[in-house]
Amino acid sequence: MPLFIQGHRKDTAMKTETDFARNLTKFLSEYLPHERCFSPKTVTTYSDSFKIMIRYIRDITKISLSRFTLSMFTPELVKDFLSWLVDSKGNSASTRNNRLAAISSFAQYLQYQEVGLIAQWQSISAIKALKTDRPSISYISVEAVRLLLEQPDLSTPKGRRDVALLALMYDSGARVQEIINLRPADIRITNRPYTIKLYGKGRKSRIVPLSEQQCSLLREYMLEKRLFDEDKADYPLFCNKWEKPLTRPGITYLLQEYVRMASAIDKTLFPANITPHCLRHSKAMHLLQADVNIIQLRDFLGHVSIQTTDVYARAEGKKKREALEKAYADTNPEILKSKRDWEEDPDLLEWLERNK
């Protein structure tokens, strides 16, 4: 192709690129993942929100995308789009608010990129979310955790992997993606204090203490898989039979299989639908019931805002009925030959005290 034709096409493309398209591209591809360190999942969620809004602009407002500029990105357009989501698309208030969160974040970004229209961006950022019913916290009792962890068949490699996985998810209060991201290099269980390093939302890391009981399970699993070898420091901690990292659907499936088995023994202990996040909720609630300070709980869970953690305090309306040792004690299966008293295993208390 002749060079002058190539150049002509490039110039044409540049002319059709609007300031809205240019800024949105930078927001999604540079600002969110690199400056804000948002996870790929969050970036995808934000991107999906703008895909829907762009279709609304094209199909409902009948504005050509090649002519849509930042000056047209007004509070009125955003409000109309949000109303369309609820009234025409039948979206819930929660979904509508999620779309608004993406748009507001973009408007806040524009306040520093396109200052000539700063009042417009501030007006968009000021659009209020709709009130929604707070979802109830789904969690299970310590007795249910204990029964759940008794279900894997410890005579098989899969069963030993699964009990180490499920016990670690509960003991650390980790999100499922944090468990998937774990590598042997993140584990410190050869000397006290026993800890793991979790990489949470926004790629922020935190150190979480582990109990002696949990370490016994994890240590046996890692020895069996030779995960203490130096050449395996960056291997996934938990793999499937093809040596590939476990996935969210995979972990959800195995958890629900063991819940089904445990429910056959005592169905009163488990909710109708249980997800991996339920184990995180359960750990948080057990610590809260054991009088752990809400600030300490926030740090343990890796929340940025205390308001996020406060949902557990609102959910706990009953009288606190367990001491802190009950949050850890006796939740692991019979593979553990002896039980440690809490006073002999004070790592969590020490960690919480240091991180007040």
- pLDDT tens readout for residues 151-182: 999 999 999 999 999 999 999 999 999 999 99
The pLDDT of residue 7 is 38
Q: How far is it, in rounded angstroms, from Cα 133 to Cα 99?
A: 17
Q: Domains of the chain by range and CATH?
A: 13-125 (1.10.150), 142-354 (1.10.443.10)
- Residue 332's CB: how many other CB atoms inside 10 A? 23
The pLDDT of residue 317 is 47
Q: Which residues contact 133 (CB under 8 A, 6 or more apart)?
A: none
Longest CA span, the chain:
80
Residues recognised as catalytic? 175, 201, 277, 280, 303, 312
DSSP 201: G
**Which one, of 146, 170, 139, 166, lies nearest residue 271 by Cα?**
139
The pLDDT of residue 200 is 78
The pLDDT of residue 306 is 67
pTM score: 0.60
Structure tokens that stand for 27 in this block: 């927001």
Which is it for strands 205-209 and 187-188: parallel, antiparallel or unpaired? unpaired
- pLDDT tens readout for residues 319-328: 343 333 444 4
How would you write the pLDDT of the chain (356 residues) with one tens digit per residue?
333 333 333 433 434 589 999 999 999 999 999 998 888 888 999 999 999 999 999 999 999 989 999 999 999 999 999 999 999 999 999 899 999 999 999 999 999 999 999 999 999 999 999 987 666 678 899 999 999 999 999 999 999 999 999 999 999 999 999 999 999 999 999 888 899 999 877 667 888 888 888 889 999 999 999 999 999 999 999 999 888 999 999 999 999 999 999 999 999 999 888 899 999 999 988 888 888 877 888 888 887 776 666 666 665 544 343 333 444 455 555 544 443 343 444 555 565 556 55
